[in-house]
Structure 1
Amino acid sequence: EGDGRNLEDLETLVWTPNHHLTDRQIDQFLVISRSVGTFARALDCSSSVKQPSLHMSAAAASRDITLFHAMDTLHKHNYNIADAISSLVPSTGPVLCRDEMEEWSASEANLFEEALEKYGKDFIDIRQDFLPWNIIEYYYMWKTTDRYVQQKRVKAVEAESKLKQVYIPN
């Protein structure tokens, strides 16, 4: 018993396993897209300031956003690799994909960490008082960074030292 809605209007197909490409061809396309992403970052002045080395640019190009864009591009070009590659490198230059981690400035990232320290994971309060834009996506990406791991270690050491300072009388 349906509700009268057209399912095609509710869903957007972003990938299909029913295509002619082999896993190897897809992997090769992803290597090309990461290379294009690295090259795009090398050409982009704002990226080269944030990621001054080729190593850092390559690491940024290997992030999920580059791969998501590559898979989306392949799907939009009906799994035609030549057409998809052409769209990754149009006449205006290579396509640069950025995620939330790359869009935020250092001061915005510090503000986010201060807000997280003050409010915990109360994103509604953080959004109202500190950062009005998309903090949820940033939060989950931030949790994959070395800064997050370092903060977790510092907090664990602090918690352990507090436990050692507890005095229990006889």
Structure 2
Amino acid sequence: MSVDRPPLPPFTRETAIQKVRAAEDAWNTRDPERVALAYTEYSAWRNRSEFFQGRPAIVAFLTRKWNRELEYRLIKELWAFTGDRIAVRFAYEYHDDSGTWFRAYGNENWVFDAHGLMRARHASINDLPIAESARLFHWDRGGPRPAEHPGLSELGL
């Protein structure tokens, strides 16, 4: 039995934006167990060249990701929605263990079940090395992006 994770499909513009911001806030915690609860038990993922399925695989993936991508900060923005689907564009900044900073750009396509859990996530991502002085995402580590911090469009991304 699934627990509802509002907002539920079918999405309106307002509820799609709420869903996107909830995902952004969860990912910015960098807590793999918490993030995985937004996905169905057997959620199917494509992330770059990795294909996997299920919450345990999601937790393992996110754990590896955030052990490599240090000081991670993410911004997501609604691109399109219909019924049980949402498309987002996103960017995130991080540095590796050598101190090199990156900005990753990408798009995600999401499909939700009737309970508001994501049953499929397809992500395409590109990384660009940046100078630390070129960083645009500045807020407390491990927390949500403050309401006054600009989004992708406002930052010209």
* TM-score bracket for the superposition, by shorter chain length: under 0.3
- Select the structure with the greater relative contact order (CA < 8 A; seq sep ≥ 6): 2
Larger Rg: 1
Normalised by the length of structure 1, the TM-score is 0.23
Structure with the higher strand share, 1 or 2: 2
